[in-house]
Amino acid sequence: MNILLVIAIAMTAGLVVSRAARAVKLPNVTAFLLAGLVIGPCVTGIVNREQLASMSVISEAALGFIAYAIGITTLASPASASDAKSSLLTGVIILLSTHPA
């Protein structure tokens, strides 16, 4: 599969899942991680491991942006029950996505 098609699929999945996450009041960062988990090789395999390996530079940059967004979200708002739920869900998604299949 062409690298541009993979990027387009990832961006579309992120947009769709972030719109759905907004309805249940989850942050966009959590939605993007969930979208990546779903289209990745561990769940549906739409994007396979070879394609992910060829996009390692993009993946590293994306992880940097995700970490920055999590930090800004955490600093901008006081802790609440929904923040704890979002943080727990984000942590579970990160653990699932980094666990070798």
Q: How many domains does the chain have?
A: 1
Domain around 38: 3-98
Q: Summarize pLDDT for 15-44 with one digit per residue, the tens.
A: 899 899 888 888 787 888 888 888 888 888
pTM: 0.61
pLDDT band, residue 76 (cuts 50/70/90) = low
Mean pLDDT of 61-77: 73
CA distance 17 to 26: 10
What pLDDT score was predicted for residue 75? 63
CA distance 36 to 25: 19
Residue reference for tokens 């666990």 = 99
CA distance 34 to 27: 11
Q: 27 near 14, Cβ under 8 Å?
A: no
